[in-house]
Structure 1
Amino acid sequence: MAKRLLTWIPAILILSLSLSISYYWLSNKPKAKRNPAQSVAPLVELLQSKETDYSATVFAMGSVIPAQKVNLTSRINGMIISVSPDFVPGGFFKKGAQIVQLDPTDYELAIKQKENALANARFDLTLELGQQAIAKREFSLLNANLDQQSKNLVLRQPHLALAKTAISAAEAALTQSRLDLQRTKTSSPFNAIVLETNAHIGSWVSTFSTGTPLIKLAGTNSFWVIATLPVNKLNKIDIPNINSAKGSEVKIYFKAAWGEQAFRLGTVKRLKVELETSGRMAELIIEVQDPMSLLKENKGLPTLILGAFVRVEIIGHKLKNVIPIPETLIHSGQRIWLVSEQNTLNIQAITPVWQEQGLVFIDAAQLPDNSRIISSSLSTPVQGMSVRINKASIQE
């Protein structure tokens, strides 16, 4: 037993020594010296504010409609005996040009009859004037004392009035017949293009027929574009009879037919008094002169098409002393981020005066001169925090 105990003693001593050494090093291990954390100011990119004057442009869409439109019908009865070669959809007529001719025979005969009736009425008046002379002589010989009514009867005054009335009636009937003869020719009331025709040679037209016109015309002197836009854009547009004597100039684009760059000029004519029902948008009437490019000075210009859906750019009021800022740099609550002279963050509230095409315009008085606008993102913006400027990124 003693011999076995002597065998374990060295092992126990070695184990004890190892445990003692381990405990010592664990208790006295070197500790790393911690330095306090240093905050690094975020690096930002800048946009230099620049004051300028700018003409506001209002962008909208609109439909082309006729400024003048009429459905022509006949005011007399008759058969169509001829039509103009331009009596087809798309045909052009100048003001006063003949469109349709009705058979004039009956109306020419009616004029002859009315002329004869007028001649008879004048003959009757001549006879009555002779009777008047005889009656006056007879009355003077009688030297009778009559009241005025009896005297008028003796002198045939009612007969004379009747004869004169008959002449007036005959003259009116003749005038009506001549007018009816003129109406056998249907003419264009203004410079026009044909939209639709509903008659042919041999067709009978009547004043009693309703609903179907001979022809539908649209005026070619001007077309209208009915443009819809938000109500809050109206205050930057010149509108006749509302805020200006002359309307704002407008560029009309019809990409599908004209391509990207071509446009026609128009002017704002009126503001419709009601908002359109679907989106409660305002509706402007824009007038385009000579939309078909018929005048010599407009040859070669693109032509408008009725019913076309077009894009319009309305040249609005000039904005003076404003600063344009990309709308992506406007943060929640209408605020922008500025860098102060001390290179700290200044969160500045703004009030936009205009917005278009991805830009927000503010009055220059809202910002200090030569303000430096942060154009990069900040994860946690805090008023007064320090920032570092990436000088290579400053945008003018």
Structure 2
Amino acid sequence: MARIIAIAAPIAILVSLGVGGTVVLQALKPKPEKAEEARVGLNVFAEQVRRGDLQISVESQGEVRPKREIVVAPQISGRISYVSPDFIDGGFIKKGQLLVRVEAADYELAVVRAQSTVASAEQRLARETAEAELARQDIEDLGLDNASPLARREPQLAEARASLDAANAQLKEAQLALDRTAVYAPFSGRVRERNVDIGQVVAAGQSLGRIFANDVVEVSLPLNDEEMGRLGLPLAFAPTAEHPGPEVVFSAMVGGIKRHWTGEVVRTAAALNTQTRQINVIAELKDPYGAGADDGAPMAPGLFVSAHIEGATIHDVLIAPRAALRGDDRLFIGVPDTGKLSIRKVDLIYSDPDGAYVRAGIAPGEYAVTSPIQAAFDGMNITVMERLPDGTIKTYEPKSDTDEGKTEETVMAVSGQEGTDE
């Protein structure tokens, strides 16, 4: 027993010393400092909301066509004896210019025959007038009071006068046909096509070619109901001095150069298109080959052009970047001080690639988030970053609960494409 105690006693003393030493060391060990939990926030790019004016506009497309275009046709038949050298595809013509002449020999003979008929009718009328005067004197000499009209030669005199009127009408008809052997341009313009040449026999009404006036061209621009409302145009629009038509800027590639022409809306079509449910707005450009041309480049018929229609101007609206618009009426706003995301419902007026235009729901100077955010929710932790005009990026670090200063701002220079941590 004494042997066992002699062995166990040292072991117990050693265990007691070890446990006591461990307790003492733990008591004397300094407590570790608590580190604040790192804040987790999504880095997003944002742009400031600003105030400005909204110029409402609508984009459309259409084909240029002349306002006046006709088929040139003779009113009489015959053989072509002359064709103007300007009467050719692409030729420029003037109002009153002779385009085509039909051989006039047959019609000149008809005029001579009609003149002969008129002379005969005049001679007959003169004879009947003299005979009627003699008959009147005879009746007076005989003292007859009830002489018949035939005895007075009244029917014969009326017939002679009618024959003269008919002969004069035939002469005018023959002269008119002779005048119509020459076909003149009814307006100044250009020739689209020519279908005849010298020596060809044509009939009345046969097409000799097509010409169009070059004083005005027009473009039919299809718009839907929303676009009509955006421009403030009624379905039956006609410009007045108080309410002129909206300005239209046409553009197209001509000769490898982007050309622009400025016209105006002059009317709307009479009815909607039953297939597209759109209505055509007619815009005009005056003097497309002269003052209306772009550095000598005309807006020629047949050209397909894009049209930018200027509407009304709405003053003092809030403008946010278009990329910040989520859905139809929501914006993501980043709050730099708190590092939180605020989802706002706004009163949207209009949006285009240049921005989203809002009446209310946001304030100038707030930061509209343009970066894509998945599963976004109100109050989400974010870090707002702003790209400055010089290409540097400013990062707004939110202040903690213990910070007394303002939001910390860090500016760093970057190159290449902007990135977003998600």
Normalised to the residue count of structure 1, the TM-score between the two structures is: 0.79
AA of the residue aligned to 2:184 = S
Q: Which residue of 1 aligns with 2:222?
A: 228
CA distance in 1, matches of 2:395, 2:53: 25
Superposed CA deviations along residues 52-99 of structure 1, whole A, max 9, x for unmatched, are 113222222211122111111111111111110112111111111100
Aligned to 1:335: 330
Q: Distance in 1 between matches of 2:323 and 2:120?
A: 92
Q: For the Cα contact (< 8 Å) 1:79–1:202, is it kept in 2?
A: yes
Change (3 A) 1:38 1:298: closer
Aligned partner letter, 1:354: Y
> By how many angstroms is 1:151 displaced?
3.9
Question: Aligned runs of 1:358-373 on 2, under 5 Å?
Answer: 358-363=354-359, 365-373=360-368
Q: How far off its partner does 1:186 sit?
A: 0.7
What's the counterpart of residue 304 of structure 1? 299
Partner of 1:354: 350
2: CA distance, partners of 1:92 / 1:354? 46
Higher relative contact order (CA 8 A, sep 6+): 1
1:316 paired to 2:311: yes
1:263 alignment partner, SS class: strand
- The answer as to whether partners of 2:79 and 2:201 remain within 8 angstroms in 1 is yes
- Per the alignment, residue 14 of structure 1 pairs with none
Matches of 1:92 and 1:255, distance apart in 2: 24
How many angstroms apart in 2 are the aligned matches of 1:336 and 1:157?
Answer: 100
Partner residue in 2 for 1:193: 190
Secondary structure of the residue that 1:51 maps to in structure 2?
strand
Contact 2:318–2:363 under 8 Å retained in 1: no
Following TM superposition, by how much is the alpha carbon of 1:213 offset from its aligned partner in structure 2, in angstroms?
Answer: 0.5
TM-score, normalised with respect to structure 2: 0.75
Give the drift of 1:376: 3.2
- Using the TM superposition, give the Cα deviation of residue 278 of structure 1 relative to its aligned residue in structure 2, in angstroms: 5.6
Q: How many residues align?
A: 357
Q: After alignment, is 90-99 or 223-232 more displaced?
A: 223-232
> Retained in 2: the 8 A contact 1:57–1:356?
no
Contact 2:260-2:294 at 8 Å conserved across structures: no
- Change in CA separation of 1:268 and 1:299 when aligned onto 2, cut-off 3 Å: closer
Counterpart residue identity of residue 323, structure 1: L
Q: Which residue of structure 2 lines up, in the alignment, with residue 252 of structure 1?
A: 250
Q: Aligned partners of 1:100 and 1:109: how far apart in 2?
A: 21
Which deviates more from structure 2 when the two are superposed, residues 99-108 or residues 305-314? 305-314
Which of residues 264, 273, 278 in structure 2 aligns to 1:267?
A: 264
The residue aligned with 1:132 is 132
2:200 to 203, 220, 242: 203
Matched-pair identity in %: 25
- Which protein has the bigger strand share? 2
Does the aligned pair in 2 maintain the 1:46–1:375 contact within 8 Å? yes
- C-alpha root-mean-square deviation of aligned residues, in Å? 3.3
Q: Distance in 2 between matches of 1:348 and 1:299?
A: 46
Contact 1:58 1:356 in 2 (8 A): no
- Quote the residue 1:290 is aligned against: 287
- Other-structure match for 1:216: 210
Q: Secondary structure at the residue paired with 2:255? A: helix
Give the distance between the partners of 2:374 and 2:295, measured in 1 at CA: 57
Which amino acid letter does the alignment assign opposite residue 374 of structure 1? V
Structure 1 residue identity aligned to 2:46: L
CA distance in structure 1 between the aligned counterparts of 2:79 and 2:328, rounded to whole angstroms: 75
- The alpha carbon displacement at 1:182 in A equals 1.0
Shift of 1:43: 4.7
| Residue pair 1:45, 1:393 contacting (<8 A) in 2 also | no
Q: Aligned with 2:312: secondary structure?
A: strand
Q: Is the 8 A contact 1:239 1:270 kept in 2?
A: no
Structure 2 unaligned segments of length 5 or more: list them: 1-18, 20-25, 27-31, 387-393, 397-422
Cα deviation for residue 305 of structure 1 reads 3.1
Q: Distance in 2 between matches of 1:156 and 1:393?
A: 119
How far is 1:239 from its partner?
5.6
Bigger drift between 376-385 and 245-254 goes to: 376-385
Question: Equivalents in 2 of 1:220, 1:230: separation in Å?
Answer: 30
CA distance in 1, matches of 2:238, 2:313: 15
1:21-74 deviations in whole A, cap 9, x for unaligned? Answer: xxx9xxxxx9x9999967645554432211211322222221112211111111
Secondary structure of 1:242's counterpart equals: coil
Partner amino acid, structure 1, of 2:349:
V
* Alignment partners' CA distance in 2, 1:333 and 1:254: 32
State how far apart, in whole Å, the 2-side matches of 1:393 and 1:83 are: 79
